[in-house]
Amino acid sequence: MAQPISAFQAAYITIEVLIALVSVPGNILVIWAVRMNQALQDATFSFIVSLAVADVAVGALVIPLAIVINVGPHIEFYTCLMLACPVLILTESSILALLAIAVDRYLRVKIPLSYKNVVTPKRAAVAIACCWIVSLLVGLTPMFGWNNLNKMRTQEANASHAAFVIPCQFENVISMEYMVYFNFFVWVLPPLLLMLIIYLEVFNLIRKQLNKKVSANSSDPQKYYGKELQIAKSLALVLFLFALSWLPLHTLNCITLFCPSCQTPSILTYIAIFLTHGNSAMNPIVYAFRIKKFRVTFLQIWRQYICCKADKNANTLDNTELGNWPLERAGAIPEMPYLDLQKPL
pLDDT surpassing 90 at residue 53: yes
CATH classification of the domain holding 206 = 1.20.1070.10
pLDDT band at 101 (very low <50, low <70, confident <90, very high): confident
Specify if 164 maps to a domain: yes
Residue 161 confidence (pLDDT): 55
Residue 345 lies in a domain: no
Q: What is the pLDDT of residue 4?
A: 73
Q: How many domains does the chain have?
A: 1
In a domain, 341, yes or no: no
Indicate whether 322 pLDDT > 60: no
Dihedral sign for Cα 5, 183, 159, 258, please: negative
Domain residue limits at 283:
7-330
The answer to whether residue 344 sits within a structural domain is no
Whether 1 maps to a domain, the answer reads no
DSSP 289-333: TTSHHHHHHHHHHIIIIIS----TTTT---GGGS-S---GGGT--
| Cα dihedral 335→341→342→345 (10° resolution) | 110
Percent of the chain exceeding pLDDT 70 equals: 83
pLDDT, one tens digit per residue, over 170-211 is 999 999 999 999 999 999 999 999 999 998 998 898 888 888
DSSP output for 204-232: HHHHHHHT-S--TT-S-HHHHHHHHHHHH
Inside any domain, residue 256:
yes
**Which conformational region is residue 213 in: left (phi greater than 0), alpha (psi within -120 to 50 degrees), or beta?**
alpha
